[in-house]
Amino acid sequence: MTQFVFLYVPVQNISVIANNKVFCKSCKHSRLGFPCKFTSPDSCSKGFLQFSKDWSALYPRRKNNLKVNVVVARKSDGNQGHYDQQGRRDAHKESRSSNSVTPILDTISFPNELKNLSMQELLRLSHELRWEVIRIVSKTGGHLGASLGVIELTLAIHYVFNTPEDRLIWDVSHQTYPHKILTGRRSRMLTLRKYGGLSGFTKRAESEYDAFGAGHSSTSISAALGMATARDLAGKRNHCIAVIGDGGITGGMAYEAMNNCGYLNHRVIVILNDNNQVSLPTGTKTAGGVSPAGALSKYTNRLLSSSPFLNIRSLAKDLSRIFPQQVQGLAAKADEYARALFTGGGTLFEELGFYYVGPVDGHSLEDLIPILENVRDMNVNKPVLIHVKTEKGRGYPPAEKALDKYHGVTSFDIETGKLLKKQETKSTPAPASYSTVFANTLIQEAEEDRKIVAITAAMPGGTGLNLFGEKYPSRCFDVGIAEQHAVTFAAGLATEGYKPFCCIYSTFLQRGYDQVVHDVALQSLPVRFMIDRAGLVGDDGATHQGSYDLTYLGCIPNIVIMAASNEIELMNMVVTALSIEDRPSAVRYPRGAGVGIETLQMKLGYQLEGQKLPARGSVLKIGKGRIVRRGRYRERGSGAQDGFIDRRLVRQNGSSSDHYSAEKDSNSANYRRTPIAILSIGTRLVSCVDAAIHLESLGQQFEVTVADARFMKPLDTELIDYLVKHNEILITVEENSIGGFGSHVAHYLIQSGYLDSGNLKFRSMVIPDKFIEHGSQNEQYEEAGLQSHQIATTVLRLVGKVPAVL
Ligand SMILES: Cc1ncc(C[n+]2csc(CCOP(=O)(O)OP(=O)(O)O)c2C)c(N)n1
């Protein structure tokens, strides 16, 4: 039988020459070269496996000890068998995988099937697993770099521990693709992050191997300690293992948990996966320089350089120190002394009550497995921290080379590593993302105002602050994954007269809620919250939805809350926030690209010079919305002007109190159609306009006015008064959960008596009261009922005409 076998060729036997050809020196054939491409092995006629670019260039210093990066497949007599859980040969699996490029992985559905593998087979499996992750993510997109960095660690943990009985908790859990592959989900991996498919994170509902769900960072040690405490209360013996990155461990919760671990002294195993990348991406210019945010990272680096990677011999010596009954040898004492010299005492982790093991080479199964076995078999009640050093993106050169280590990628071309983006034509370049529009606006303002400072919690790339940091490194602060600290740090800056822009995703600002209330709003400090990824976020799913900020901010007194409906509005709101100096303000805006010039002009009534965005934002009148589109019966001339209230609605001598009075009286006799008002806040505005156009196209039935509230606080009650007085139906639309804008409008309507007479039909369209899972943003809008056809349907239901087809 023909079968592929993977041979690991020592680097000394490899020649890398120009043109990306690789040659095996030891082989008899003079030319066993093959293109250095990450192609699928079985697509290669010779059966030779992938190789990539010039490794010697990538690893100049490690040229001579590059162990297993080069893999050659050749034909063999098939002596690599497949075995069932009891170690019996499994002919079925063999026949299935006889031509497979992942013959060992094909035999593994669950971790217990790993237990009979030899070290050699595990090494091969690690390669197959790495390849499988690259292959899958190249198609699905997702968190590639972190998953590649923990291939060996994942294998070693599942090999040594008895999951799911032993609880394995992944921090953030974006690195769990190899874990998913090994725990019964391989066949569904191509559904990753797709609507109805596998989640990109751990999820208790998805698998019993996902002991704890995550998505936000720094929770794993607390969860593991809780599980360990429950275990001890119940008199059980299983292990609880938290794997946390050097990013995750910068979050305050991790310290709170470690502090409690040392105090409770329960047997918890914490694996610190140290890959020198804290922020996304690390390397952004900030006031702290370009190295990973935080002093802890410097500290763990000192630990790394202070002692060589721990091998099993030194570990055995080392572990002996926690058995008090064992006599500690001189060597162990010397080792302790040496360590203290470098670290200035016991390690920080030891001071917190952990037994510190490390550093360990996280890509060496030969080191990892015995160390984990030793820790597993220690018969003591004490938390242990194993410090593992890994490389993010390991084994895929494009990822290794990239600044962001391919943290989160779209689908990509395996051969080149090129990310595949939606094609944009020359005539219609894709609109800039909201994050970029925000960053550019702030950069422009910061040129003139030296008091402007910007803060991110480990998300410089995502928030656009990498651009700001390039320009003003000393005014850009990356505080690590520490949203609570970011908010209060901004508050401190504000007390001293600086103008802090605290840029945090909606979902992560949840972490800093009390700080917003207690440290900022209560003291009326002018911190400007720039809330990116507000609304439904697509493939990251439920853990990352920015669905709640209008709700959780709306109930706080003394804060101005704005929501941008398009990129021009965002520019305006950034400068408006800058102008607010006596209290906090917040601007929410969504994930993704702006609506684009054409939509701005055709649907939202902007007249843009040179088909470009305005050069600068304009300060908005606080608490004032605008009417974007009026019912057709009143239409004369073009739509709304220059992003402000349609002037046709403003009486010539209009005072502020009749700002929205309409010149409609002469038309009122012509009322034949049902007047409807849609009051939108934020991102669904274009869908509201589409719904209005659609409704008006349904014969002569409706006239639909669409307004953009712009502000949730202060609420534009004058605009609401106007809409209520001139319409029979009022619908609010927002990309936020229950309790947000619609609730505030409803409250106003109730308190003002508008609902007493029964003349007004009012509905509030919000994200429904459930968690919306991963999928595309469009699929999520559909599920949430916020698409234009669903807005139109709401109207038709209210007038008793539910259409068969829209
Ligand atoms: C509370 C919170 N803030 C921000 C993020 C965004 N985020 C996801 S992964 C990540 C970096 C995590 O670094 P680390 O834990 O070291 O994992 P690595 O990706 O380096 O393996 C960040 C900042 C998050 N998930 N949770």
The β-bridge partners of 15 are 23
Locate 525 and state its tokens: 């400090």
418 part of a folded domain: no
CATH number at residue 470: 3.40.50.970
Q: Is the pLDDT of residue 561 over 50?
A: yes
Last residue of a domain, one of 356, 373, 389: 389
Take residue 806 and report the two structure tokens written for it.
């829209």
CB 452 within 8 A of CB 445: yes
Please give the average per-residue pLDDT across 211-220, as a whole number: 98
Mean pLDDT of 795-802: 87
Model pLDDT, residue 311: 53
Three-state SS for 92-158 is HHHHHCCCCCCCCHHHCCCHHHHCCCCHHHHHHHHHHHHHHHHHHHHHHCECHHHHHHCHHHHHHHH
* Residue 806 placed within a domain: no
Separation of 783 CA from ligand 1 center, angstroms?
Answer: 28
Same domain, 72 and 139: no
Kindly provide the b/e burial profile for residues 626-652, where b requires at least 16 CB atoms within 10 angstroms of the residue's own CB.
Answer: bbbbbbbbbeeeebbeebbbbebbbee
What are the residue numbers of the active site? 392, 483, 511
Query: What string of DSSP letters covers 325-339?
Result: TSPPPHHHHHHHHHH
Determine which helix (DSSP H) or strand (DSSP E) holds 376, and give its type and residue range: helix 365-377
Q: Rounded to the nearest whole angstrom, what is the distance from the C-alpha of residue 779 to the centroid of ligand 1?
A: 26
Model's pTM, two decimal places?
0.83
Residue 371 has pLDDT above 70, yes or no: yes
Instruction: Identify whether residues 381 and 466 lie together within a single domain.
Output: no
Residue 367 lies in a domain: yes
Question: Are 167 and 84 part of one and the same domain?
Answer: yes
pLDDT above 90 (res 343):
no
Q: Quick one: DSSP state of residue 463?
A: H
Contacts of 751 (CB under 8 A, 6+ apart): none
Burial class (CB in 10 A: 0-12, 13-18, 19+), 350: middle
CA 69 to chain centre: 30
Query: Residue range 446-455: average pLDDT?
Result: 98
Residue nearest ligand 1's atom 24 by CA: 216
670 within 8 A of 703, measured Cβ to Cβ: no
In a domain? residue 426: no
Residue 368 predicted with pLDDT over 70 = yes
The structure tokens 């019996």 sit at 88
Between 365-377 and 312-319, two packed helices, what is the crossing angle to 10 degrees?
20
Last residue of a domain, one of 24, 55, 79: 79
User: What is the predicted pLDDT for the residue at 307?
Assistant: 57
- pLDDT beyond 50 at 374: yes
Tell me which residue has its CA closest to atom 9 in ligand 1.
172
pLDDT at 447 over 90: yes
| Same domain (yes/no): 702, 568 | no
Judge whether 712 and 741 are in contact, CB under 8 Å.
yes
Q: Which two tokens stand for residue 629?
A: 């589109």
Q: Do residues 64 and 86 both lie within one domain?
A: no
Token output for 454: 């910007």
Q: Which residues span the domain enclosing 232? A: 80-389
What is the rounded CA–CA span in Å between residue 16 and residue 34?
A: 11
Task: Please say which residue of 79, 109, 127 terminates a domain.
Answer: 79
Q: Where are the alpha helices (DSSP H) in 396-517?
A: 397-401, 434-448, 460-463, 465-471, 483-495, 506-509, 513-514
pLDDT of res. 98? 52
pLDDT at residue 70, rounded to an integer: 37
Same domain, 46 and 88: no
Ligand 1: centre distance to CA 740 (Å)? 28
- Which range in 2-6, 24-28, 62-66, 199-203 is most confidently predicted, on average pLDDT? 199-203
Nearest-angstrom CA–CA distance, 340 and 332: 12
Count up the domains in the chain and report the number: 4
Structure tokens at 345: 């005492």
512 domain-assigned: yes
**Residue 504: is its pLDDT beyond 70?**
yes
Distance CA 544, CA 548 (A): 11
Nearest CA to ligand 1 atom 25: 216
Range picked from 43-52, 70-79, 221-230, 277-286 for highest mean pLDDT = 221-230
CB 479 within 8 A of CB 454: no
Question: What's 683's domain CATH number?
Answer: 3.40.50.920
- pLDDT classification of 100: cutoffs 50, 70, 90: confident
Q: Do 21 and 86 belong to one domain?
A: no
Q: Which atom of ligand 1 is nearest to the CA of 481?
A: 3
626-629 β-sheet, strand order = 626-629, 702-708, 674-681, 729-734, 761-765
In-domain check, residue 351: yes
b (16+ CB within 10 A) / e for 23-45 = bbeeeeeeebbbebbbbebeebe
In the chain, the percentage of residues whose pLDDT exceeds 90 is: 67
The one-character DSSP state at 667 is G
CA nearest to 678, candidates 646, 645, 705, 698: 705
> Distance between CA atoms of 51 and 38, rounded to whole angstroms?
6
- 620 Cα: distance to centroid of ligand 1 (angstroms): 35
Query: Whose C-alpha lies nearest to ligand 1, atom 18?
Result: 146
Q: What is the pLDDT of residue 315?
A: 54
Tell me if 101 sits within 8 A of 77, measured CB to CB. Answer: no
Task: Tell me what the mean pLDDT of segment 49-61 comes to.
Answer: 38
Same domain? 257 vs 173? yes
pLDDT digits (tens, 9 = 90+) for 171-194: 999 999 999 999 999 999 999 999
Work out the angle at residue 161's Cα, subtended by the Cα atoms of residues 159 and 163, and round it to the nearest 5 degrees. Answer: 100
pLDDT at 658 over 50: no
Cα–ligand 1 centroid distance for 457 (angstroms): 10
Q: Is the CB of 280 under 6 A from ligand 1?
A: yes
Looking at residue 692, what is its pLDDT?
96
Domain annotation covers residue 570: yes
Instruction: Convert the pLDDT of each residue in 276-325 to its tens digit.
Output: 888 888 888 998 888 888 777 777 766 665 655 555 445 555 554 443 33
Mean pLDDT of 529-535: 98
Residue 768 and residue 734: Cα distance in Å, rounded? 11
pLDDT of residue 711: 98
Q: What is the pLDDT of residues 775-793, one digit of tens each?
A: 999 999 999 999 999 999 9
Q: Is the pLDDT of residue 755 over 50?
A: yes
- Mean pLDDT, to the nearest integer, of 331-355? 60
Whether residue 216 has its Cβ less than 6 Å from ligand 1: yes
The verdict on residue 614 lying in a domain is: no
The residue whose CB lies within 8 Å of the most ligand 1 atoms, and thus the one to mutate among 137, 172, 199, is: 172
Say yes or no to pLDDT of 4 above 50.
no
Rounded distance between C-alpha atoms, residue 362 and residue 142, angstroms: 22
Determine phi and psi for 407, rounding to 5 degrees.
Answer: -55, -60
DSSP secondary structure, 571-610, as one string: HHHHHHHHH--SS-EEEE--SSB---HHHHHHTT----GG
Q: Is the CB of 247 under 6 A from ligand 1?
A: yes
Label residue 428 by pLDDT band (50, 70, 90).
Answer: low
Ligand 1, atom 26, lies closest to the CA of 216
Asked if residue 780 and residue 765 are part of one domain, the reply reads: yes
Q: Which atom, in ligand 1's list, is nearest to the CA of 217?
A: 26
